[in-house]
Amino acid sequence: MGKWIKSQAYLDYVDFITALNQKVKGLKTTDDLHVSPVTEAILAMLGQLDQWIDEIPPIDQPQRFGNKAFKTWFTKLQENAERLLQEALPAELRPAAAEVSTYLVESVGNSTRIDYGTGHEAAFVMFLFCLYKIEALKEEDCPATVLQIFTKYLELVRKLQQTYRMEPAGSHGVWSLDDHQFIPFLWGSAQLIGNPTLQPHHFPDPKIAAENAKDYMFMNCIEYINKVKTGLFAEHSNQLWNISAVPYWEKVNSGFLKMYKVEVLSKYPVIQHVLFGSLLSISPAASPAPTTGDS
């Protein structure tokens, strides 16, 4: 783990999520954003993957969880990911599709265990990072990267989780804020910084979360939890319930970033499957990476 924490890949990854976090402060998901042709193409590609779920329904099987039809869907992605990404990229960038598409394949879950967790979520963020590294996406694409591309990805993996009854990777909620995700809570809390009416103590109210779910990724996550879980919010989502007592979104946001470094990026079961290559290098960082507790 020490090699990872001191690597260029770790430094690049933390810088990337922090930069995107800054770019969506105060923005609504429904704002009119700059959408480049590559952004549109990536959204269309994710839409294609979503359509495949409809074409590959779950099979009848004795096990309640881990529907084996996911393996069929996953194999289709494996076989087509490089081609789909080539079609989404400008001609001069298509040679990079072989390396970049591996992160897309890794981002949807494990086909053997039929589970999904924050390691898979991180693979999608690495996929996005690679699109910036090869300059397919530019700085002006940052808000749409979070609020359109990542939102579309979130819809896709939720549909996969529900359709194929995917298990949470690891113990329930250990390395995530709900059973599966972490990043949408980080970036979603950034959207709410400076909001004049919505404060952290509001989000456990199901009505407030539902009313604001379209505009704010964080509220969308809370609405989703309320749909898939029963009982008292304080019981099924205790960590989030405790966070609702934090007075300001700035403090929630900075706390999430610190927590993510310690509880996700520093955990071997999450990071063990990370792929390294020319775009995300395991070589020592050119400048020292911040310690896991730094903001």
Q: How confident is the model at residue 292 (pLDDT cuts 50, 70, 90)?
A: very low
Q: Is the pLDDT of residue 17 over 60?
A: yes
Residue 295 has pLDDT above 70, yes or no: no
Check pLDDT > 90 for residue 287: no
pLDDT of residue 105: 98
pLDDT of residue 177: 79
pLDDT confidence band for 171 (50 / 70 / 90): low
CA–CA separation, 270 vs 28, rounded Å? 30
The region of weakest confidence among 131-140, 141-150, 225-234 is 225-234
Q: Which residue from 253, 258, 257 is spatially nearest to 293, judged by alpha carbons?
A: 258
**CA pair distance 2, 150, nearest whole angstrom:** 29
In which band, very low, low, confident or very high, does the pLDDT at 29 lie, cut at 50, 70 and 90? very high
For residue 65, what are the contacts with CB-CB under 8 A and spacing of at least 6?
114, 165, 166, 167
pLDDT at residue 174 is higher than 70: no
Q: How far apart (Å, rounded) are the C-alpha atoms in residues 56 and 93?
A: 31
CA nearest to 69, candidates 78, 77, 60? 60
Residue 58 DSSP one-character state: P
User: 273: pLDDT confidence band, cut at 50, 70 and 90?
Assistant: confident
Per-residue pLDDT band for 288 (boundaries 50, 70, 90) equals low
Instruction: Taking residues 268-274, report their average pLDDT.
Output: 87
Percentage of the chain beyond pLDDT 70 is: 95
Condensed to tens digits (0 to 9), the pLDDT of residues 190-247 reads 999 999 999 999 999 999 999 999 999 999 999 999 999 888 888 888 889 999 999 9
Average confidence (pLDDT) over 84-90 = 98
CA dihedral 266, 200, 145, 130 (to 10 degrees): -10
89, 66 in Cβ contact below 8 A? no
Decide: helix, strand or coil at residue 168.
Answer: strand
Of 123-132, 214-223, 263-272, 280-289, give the lowest mean pLDDT range. 280-289
